[in-house]
Structure 1
Amino acid sequence: MPRRILEILPPAVAWVALTSPIWAAIVAPDIFGYFLVAFSAYWLWRSIEFTVGLVLGMGRLARAQRRNWAQAGAALHGFSRLHHLVIIPTYKESEELLAETLECLAQQTIGLERIAVVLAFEQRDESAPIRAAALTERFAWRFGEWLVTQHPDLPGEVKGKSSNLAWAARRVEEELMGSDRLDPKHLVVTVCDADSRLDRQYLAALGHSILSHPDGRLHIYQPAILFYANHGRLPLLIRAVSSVFSLYSLARLAATHRLVPQSTYSLTWWVARRVRFWDVDVVPEDSHMFFKVWLHLGRRVRARAIHLPVYADAAEGATTFGTVVSTYQQIRRWAWGVSDIPYLALQGLRARHIPWHIRVARVWWYVEEHLVWPSHWFLLTLGGLVPPLLNPGYARTALAISQTAAVSMLLGLCLPSLVLAILGDILLRWWSDDETNLWKLVSGLAGFLVLPLTGLTMVALPALDAHTRLLFGRSLAYQVTEKFSAADADARGSESYVRAAETPVA
Structure 2
Amino acid sequence: MSRLYSPSEWVAPLVPIASLAVLPLGPLFFPRIYLLVLFTYFTVFLYTQLNHVRKFWLTSRKIRMTIGKWNKRLGNRETSGTKKNDTEYTETLDDVEEKLQYYQDPHYFHTFIIPNYCEPEELLKDTIERIASHSNAQTHYGLILAMEQSEVGWEEKARGLQDHFSDRFCQIVITGHPRDIPGESRGKGSNVAYAARHGCLELVEKYNIDRQRIIITVSDSDSAIPELYIREVEEALAKTEDPYHLLCAPPIFFSRNCFDVPAAVRVTDITWSAMVMSNLSNSRGMCIPCSNYSLSMVLADKVGYWDTDADAVGEDMHMWLKCFWKTQGQVRTAPIYVPINLTNVQTKSYLSNVSARYVQAKRHYNGVADVAYTLKNAFQTSSACISLFERLKVCFIILEAHMVPATSGWLMFAAVPLMQFILFPPFQSLQLVAPSDNPILTSEFFGRLWSMIKVITLCLPLPLFGTLVVYEQLHRTIDREFLHKTKAESRKWSNLIDYVNLPVAAWLFMTLPSTLACVKRLLNRQEKYITSEKLFRGDNTGLIVESSSST
Q: Any conservation in 1 of the 2:193–2:305 contact (CA below 8 Å)?
A: yes
Residue in 1 that maps onto 2:422:
390
Q: Check the 8 A contact 2:440/2:450 in 1, yes or no.
A: no
1:84 aligns with 2:110: yes
Does residue 128 of the first structure (1) align with residue 125 of the second (2)?
A: no
Alignment partner of 1:469 is 2:508: no
What is the CA–CA distance in structure 2 between the aligned matches of 1:140 and 1:233, rounded to whole Å? 33
Whether the aligned pair in 2 keeps the contact of 1:18 and 1:376 (CA below 8 Å) is no
- Alignment CA distance shift 1:130-1:179 (3 Å): closer
SS in 2 for 1:484: strand
User: What is the letter of the counterpart of residue 146 of structure 1?
Assistant: I
Which aligned pairs between 1:131-146 and structure 2 lie closer than 5 A? 131-146=157-172
Using a 3 Å threshold, how does the CA distance of structure 1 residues 3 and 185 change in structure 2: closer, same or farther?
farther
Within 2, Cα distance between the matches of 1:3 and 1:224?
Answer: 37
2:465 to 416, 419, 429: 419
Equivalent residue for 1:504? Answer: none
* C-alpha distance after superposition, 1:355-379 (max 9, x if no partner): 3442233223312332111110111
| Conserved 8 A contact 1:96-1:484 | no
Report the more deviating stretch, 51-60 or 400-409.
Answer: 400-409
Does the CA-based 8 Å contact 2:263-2:501 persist in structure 1? no
Tell me whether 1:204 sits opposite 2:206 in the alignment. Answer: no
Shift of 1:189: 0.6
Deviations 1:135-174 (A, max 9, x none): 2232221111111111111222111111111211222244
- Could you tell which deviates more after superposition, 207-216 or 316-325? 316-325
In the alignment, is residue 447 of structure 1 matched against residue 498 of structure 2? yes
8 Å CA contact 1:316, 1:495 repeated in 2: no
Residue-by-residue CA offset, 1:311-335 (whole Å, 9 max, x unaligned):
1112222221222122112122221
- What is the identity, as a one-letter code, of the residue corresponding to 1:407? I
* Structure-2 separation of matches of 1:223 and 1:335: 21
Q: Deviations over 1:398-422 (max 9, x none)?
A: 5565334312332444454333322
Aligned position for 1:255: 282
Q: Give 1:318's aligned residue.
A: 348
Distance across 2 between alignment mates of 1:116 and 1:17: 49
Change (3 A) 1:67 1:440: closer
**1:99-498 correspondence runs (5 A):** 99-153=125-179, 154-257=181-284, 258-281=286-309, 282-348=312-378, 349=380, 350-392=382-424, 393=435, 394=438, 397=441, 401-430=447-476, 431-432=478-479, 433=483, 436-437=487-488, 441-487=492-538, 491=543
- 1:452 Cα deviation after fit: 1.4
In structure 1, distance between residues paired with 2:396 and 2:490? 43
**SS state at 2:324 partner:** helix
Counterpart residue number, 1:26 = 28
**In the TM superposition, what is the alpha-carbon distance from 1:59 to its structure 2 partner?**
0.8
Q: Note the C-alpha offset of 1:182.
A: 1.5
Asked if the contact 1:326–1:496 (Cα under 8 Å) also holds between the matched residues in 2, the reply is no
Letter in 2 for 1:464: T
Unmatched runs of 5 consecutive residues or more in structure 1? 501-506
Aligned partners of 1:251 and 1:109: how far apart in 2?
A: 31
Farther-moved stretch of structure 1 (350-359 vs 283-292): 350-359
**Cα gap change, 1:23/1:146 in structure 2, threshold over 3 Å: closer, same or farther?**
same
Change (3 A) 1:247 1:360: closer
The question of whether the paired residues in 1 share the 8 Å contact of 2:105 and 2:136 is answered with no
* Distance across 2 between alignment mates of 1:370 and 1:439: 32
Q: 1:469 to 1:490 in 2, by over 3 A?
A: farther
Cα distance in 1 for residues equivalent to 2:22 and 2:546: 41
For 1:225 and 1:409, the matched residues in 2 are separated by: 34
- One-letter identity of the residue aligned with 2:411: L
**CA 482–120 in structure 1, closer or farther in 2 if over 3 Å, else same:** farther
For 1:267, the aligned partner's letter is: L
Determine helix, strand or coil for the equivalent of 2:336: strand
Quick check: 2:371–2:402 contact (8 Å CA) kept in 1?
no
Aligned partners of 1:174 and 1:445: how far apart in 2? 49
The whole-number CA distance in structure 2 between the counterparts of 1:309 and 1:272 is 24
Distance verdict in 2 for CA 1:368–1:81, change over 3 Å: closer
Partner of 2:81: none
- Is the 1:231–1:242 Cα contact (8 Å) retained in structure 2? no
Q: Which amino acid aligns with 1:321?
A: L
Work out the CA distance in 2 between the residues paired with 1:238 and 1:291: 29
CA apart distance, 1:127:
3.0
CA contact (8 A) 1:101 1:196 kept: yes
| TM-score normalised by L of structure 1 | 0.91
Q: CA deviation at 1:256?
A: 4.2
Q: Aligned equivalents of 1:32 and 1:298: distance in 2?
A: 39
Deviates most, 375-384 or 38-47: 38-47
1:185–1:269 Cα contact (<8 Å) kept: yes
| CA distance in 2: counterparts of 1:312 and 1:328, whole angstroms | 17
Distance 1:496 1:231 in 2: 19
- Conserved 8 A contact 2:143-2:172: yes
3-state secondary structure, aligned to 1:241:
helix
Give the distance between the partners of 2:203 and 2:493, measured in 1 at CA.
50
Gaps of 5+ in 2: 75-96, 425-434
Moved more, 152-161 or 63-72: 63-72
Instruction: Provide the identity percentage.
Output: 23
Identify which range, 206-215 or 476-485, moves more after superposition: 476-485
The residue type equivalent to 1:369 in the other structure is A
User: Structure 2 CA distance, aligned partners of 1:125 and 1:166?
Assistant: 18
Name the amino acid aligned to 2:109.
H
Contact in 2 for aligned 1:435/1:441 (Cα 8 Å): no
**Offset, 1:109:** 4.6
**CA distance in structure 2 between the aligned counterparts of 1:439 and 1:294, rounded to whole angstroms:** 39
Deviation of the 1:205 alpha carbon: 0.6
Instruction: Give distance in 2, aligned partners of 1:420 and 1:271.
Output: 38
Q: Deviations over 1:344-397 (max 9, x none)?
A: 232331333323442233223312332111110111110111112122243862
